[in-house]
Amino acid sequence: MPGEILEIKVHDGPARSGIYAKKETPALLSLNELSSCSDQPMPYDVPWELAQWSVEETLKKAEKCEAEFAVIHGAKYIDLRIKCAQELEALGHQALIVANGDQLMQRPRDLVQLILELREKLNPNTALCLPFAEAYSLPLLAYMGVDLFLDSIAEYYAYLNIIMTPGASYPLDQYPLLELDLEQLIEYNKKTLDLVIREIVANIKNGTLRNLVEQRSCASTSTMSTLRILDKEYSSILEKYTPIH
């Protein structure tokens, strides 16, 4: 089974920086450079039986798959998500995409529980990818242990005439910050994501990622809620990764 192994170089809390496929992590990937196994997509809020079927079909398709990434399904059921991830890992897949990422971002408690349980129960060298994340949410996601992100949101937002900045996203018809055509806006949004990733890596290396997380988490109620839940209900996990001086 092909696939790169994430080599972790340094921790800052639960966040990790390392090397994956010759890229320094956390890293931003382009959709066109991503090869992933076929899977059985499923909406987030469905009955358990449908979610289980999605997991079973995804695992069948992943058995002989030679692609780099496999997809974690299970809808809103954390136990099914963990089962799917562990079985994909047992098949040899060491880079996993978390499905329904956009919906998870709107459900802070589910997001925290899933990402932290995945990090606790999977091999630490298995890379986690969360697609379609806002620029301002990347520091918090990296802080929880997400390693890889996709830049596809940059193009999607550009088509909606939304400009991305490190601290917020603005509809240009309401906030005319710059005059950009579609291609320029796509490029601007990609550069924003790239800048934030560079900020994250630099802060991890300097042991200051938590400061960046607190600055950016006030950008939305969902990220604020996510950080609150993380601190209040999962402090023991955070403390485990915090060095005592």
The DSSP code sequence of 222-240 is HHHHHHHHHHHH-HHHHHH
The answer to whether residue 170 is domain-embedded is no
Residue 159 domain flag: no
Give yes or no for residue 15 having a pLDDT over 50.
yes
As for how many domains the chain has, the answer is 1
- Mean pLDDT of all residues in the chain? 94
Whether residue 122 is contained in a domain is answered as yes
Whether residue 227 is predicted with pLDDT greater than 90 in this model: the reply is yes
Q: Does residue 186 lie within any of the structural domains? A: no
Element (H, E) at 125: none
pLDDT tens for residues 137-188? Answer: 999 999 999 999 999 999 999 999 999 999 999 999 999 999 999 999 999 9
Rounded to whole angstroms, the Cα distance separating 99 from 150 reads: 13
pLDDT the model gives residue 236: 84
Rg (CA), the chain: 18
The pLDDT of residue 1 is above 60? no
Q: What is the pLDDT of residue 85?
A: 98
Give residue 232's domain range.
7-151+221-237
* Sign (positive or negative) of CA dihedral 98, 208, 135, 4: negative
Answer whether the bond into residue 2 is a cis peptide, omega within 30°. Answer: no
Structure tokens at 192: 């924003």
What is the Cα–Cα distance from 71 to 185, expressed in whole angstroms?
29
- The residue-averaged pLDDT of 87-101 equals 96
Domain containing residue 126: CATH number: 3.20.20.105
In-domain check, residue 13: yes
112 in a domain, yes or no? yes
Q: Are 31 and 39 in contact (CB under 8 A)?
A: no
Residue 245 has pLDDT above 50, yes or no: no
Tens-place pLDDT, residues 77-87: 999 999 999 99
Question: Which pLDDT belongs to residue 242?
Answer: 65
Tell me if 204 is assigned to some domain: no
Instruction: Identify whether 100 is part of a domain.
Output: yes
